[in-house]
Amino acid sequence: MFRVREWALATTLGGVALGACAADASTTSLGTVATEIAVRPSDFLLGAACSATPGAIQSYVVTLMAYDDPSDSVAFRLPSSLPTPCSLAFAMRDFVVAGKLYAAEIDGYDVPSSALTPFGGFSSGSRQMLDTKGAVVPPRWTSSCGGGSATATAAVANLSTPVTGCAPLVDGRPSPTETRIHPDALLDAEACVLSHTLMLRLLSGTLALPTEFECDAGELAIPGEAGDTYRFYAHATRPDGSELGTECSGVVVAGQSGMPACDVPSPHGFVALNPSSVVHGGVPTCPTGAVYEVQVSGVIVGAKRTPCELPSQLGPLSPGLTDIVITAYDASGKLLPGSANCKADVEAGRLVTAFCL
């Protein structure tokens, strides 16, 4: 029987390069479909996120284990892959034989693939990684796919076959579970030039957010509870008295030092208005089939009236308490009784909801 061990040894001694690619390509330049075993990050990224965020996985190395048949008790370790970005799949061809069984061992790193070099060079097939200074870099995460020979994945001729049965990543060096906030990332660098203090307000979640953030304090690291979904408002008063604000949100992930995502800072705000929800004495102010117009501080907004079933978003508006009046008309254009008086506390860089009476 032509065994995997003998075949792999023969091709290695014959000078065949390590046949792997960081993609799911399955054809050659001649159009022949290749026989390959693939490893997909989506199958093993069950204990970490793939991103450039500190504490997240950024690259990985795959080592395939080959078996002749389900009764084979000893695996043959194939050369390891080159460091691969966590956003790409890995596939091996040159050491893969149709009908043989394959499992995978995975090493994950919290540095980009460009910062790693296999011990002995890129053609060595080494599993050990070195940094740019030549120092050994131990993997932060480990995982395996396929288990032993009884549960390994069979290679199929002329197909790209992904390994199955991947275990969640095990983190051997957890980062702090925290959220990092930098003033420049909230309201851009201009805000800290024009105003030395940013005001913060938690809108949802349990993040222990300070109410004030001095620009010269540098980056702020806030410990959090894994799974907490938070949202907060950041704003600053500029020298001319105008406001600049934004909303930020994020999720606290166990073992990661994450950063919130913030909207583009703006000196203006917006108001969400839903006339169909306004009811007086059990009668809707803006019933289905009718239309409405809106006045903001006494000025009619828009050239056309809007069906009552459609909400409106008003803006951009200057920050401050704003008066809004909703007037409804029936299909013939006749004024309906009971207009609604609403108010909204407009804030720079936010979408707020009007409260109607």
Give every CB contact of residue 114 below 8 A, 6+ residues apart in sequence. Answer: none
Helix (H) or strand (E) holding 11: helix 4-13
- Domains of the chain as residue ranges with CATH: 4-171 (no CATH), 178-262 (2.60.40), 269-356 (2.60.40)
Query: 166: which DSSP letter?
Result: B
What pLDDT, on the 0 to 100 scale, is given for residue 189? Answer: 63
Edge-to-edge strand list for the sheet holding 117-118: 117-118, 129-130, 136-137
Q: Which two tokens stand for residue 135?
A: 């120092």
Q: Which residues of 198-222 are buried (b: 16+ CB within 10 A; e: fewer)?
A: bbbeeeebebebeeebebeeeebee
Report the C-alpha gap between 258 and 53 in whole angstroms.
6
Edge-to-edge strand list for the sheet holding 351-353: 312-317, 269-273, 351-353
Give every CB contact of residue 189 below 8 A, 6+ residues apart in sequence. Answer: none
Give every CB contact of residue 259 below 8 A, 6+ residues apart in sequence. Answer: 53, 179, 180, 181, 182, 185, 250
Give every CB contact of residue 183 below 8 A, 6+ residues apart in sequence. Answer: 191, 192, 198, 213, 215, 217
Please state, for a pLDDT cut of 70, what percent of the chain lies above it: 89
What pLDDT, on the 0 to 100 scale, is given for residue 281? Answer: 78
Q: What is the pLDDT of residues 113-139, one digit of tens each?
A: 999 999 999 999 999 999 999 999 999
Mean pLDDT across 137-143: 95
Q: What is the pLDDT of residues 297-344, one digit of tens each?
A: 999 998 899 999 999 999 999 999 999 999 999 999 999 987 899 999
What pLDDT, on the 0 to 100 scale, is given for residue 302? Answer: 87
Cα within 13 Å of Cα(153), Cβ side: 23
Q: Is 275 exposed, middle or buried (0-12, 13-18, 19+ CB in 10 A)?
A: buried
Residue type, 237: T
Out of 160-169, 180-189, 273-282, the most confident range is: 160-169
Check whether 2 has a pLDDT greater than 80.
no
Q: Which two tokens stand for residue 215?
A: 């620009």
DSSP-derived 3-state class of residue 9: helix
Look over the chain and give the mean of its residue pLDDT values, rounded to a whole number. 87
In terms of Cα–Cα distance, which of 88, 101, 86 is closest to 37?
A: 101
DSSP-derived 3-state class of residue 284: strand
Q: What is the pLDDT of residues 40-65, one digit of tens each?
A: 999 999 767 888 877 789 999 999 99
In terms of Cα–Cα distance, which of 283, 332, 286 is closest to 307?
A: 286
Report the C-alpha gap between 210 and 260 in whole angstroms.
15
Say what the pTM is.
0.60
C-alpha torsion sign, points 130, 20, 112, 172? negative
